[in-house]
């Protein structure tokens, strides 16, 4: 089941060490993503989304995060370090991003993709908050 999980620093180290070669691991450091704009810029660059789409937009973000073209791995681990600083300059935006994971992005990869995309394939996609 795709979900948002709170993990300890030790569990984080184990997750990174034991990941499979084919797994995608995206580590987001909240210390460098204090604003929504910085988070969007980081995630778009890290996932190689088209550069002309960096303007902050929740709808655009959701579209790219549910686009199979960019996620050809069966497992995606998005790890948020320094969560207390993550989008800390706009608490409402932080909540919206986390809600988007819970209500749209994670369910999409868990089951919706099969019904909405021809040949769509589910993926294990978890968000880890390191405490």
Distance (Å, whole) CA 107 – CA 121: 12
pLDDT tens figures, 29-39: 999 999 999 99
Q: Is residue 85 pLDDT above 80, yes or no? A: yes
pLDDT band at 71 (very low <50, low <70, confident <90, very high): confident
77-97: average pLDDT: 97
Distances (CA, A) of 16 to 5, 11, 19, 46, 48: 15, 9, 5, 17, 21
Cβ proximity of 32 and 42 under 8 Å:
yes
What is the domain partition of the chain in residue ranges? 4-130
Is the Cβ–Cβ distance between 61 and 101 less than 8 Å?
A: no
pLDDT at 54: 54
**pTM for this entry:** 0.91
Residue 42, pLDDT > 60, answer yes
Write the secondary structure of the chain as one string of H (helix), E (strand) and C (coil). Answer: CCCEEEECHHHHHHHHHHCCCCCEEEEEEHHHCCCHHHHHHHHHHHCCCCHHHCCCCHHHHHHHHCCCCCCCCCEEEEEEECCCCCCCCCHHHHHHHHHHHHHHHHHHHHHHHHHHCCCCCCCEEEEEEEC
């Amino acid at each position: 089941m795709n979900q948002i999980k709170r993990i300890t620093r030790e569990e984080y180290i184990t997750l990174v060490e034991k990941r499979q070669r084919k797994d995608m691991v995206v580590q987001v450091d909240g210390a460098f993503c204090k604003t929504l704009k910085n988070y969007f810029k980081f995630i778009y660059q890290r996932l190689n989304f088209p550069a002309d789409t960096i303007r902050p937009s929740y709808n655009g973000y959701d579209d790219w995060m549910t686009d199979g073209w960019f996620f050809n791995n069966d497992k995606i681990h998005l790890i948020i370090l320094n969560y207390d600083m993550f989008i800390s300059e706009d608490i409402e935006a932080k909540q919206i991003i986390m809600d988007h994971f819970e209500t749209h992005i994670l369910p999409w990869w868990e089951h919706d993709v099969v019904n909405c995309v021809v040949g769509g394939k589910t993926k294990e996609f978890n968000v880890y908050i390191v405490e």
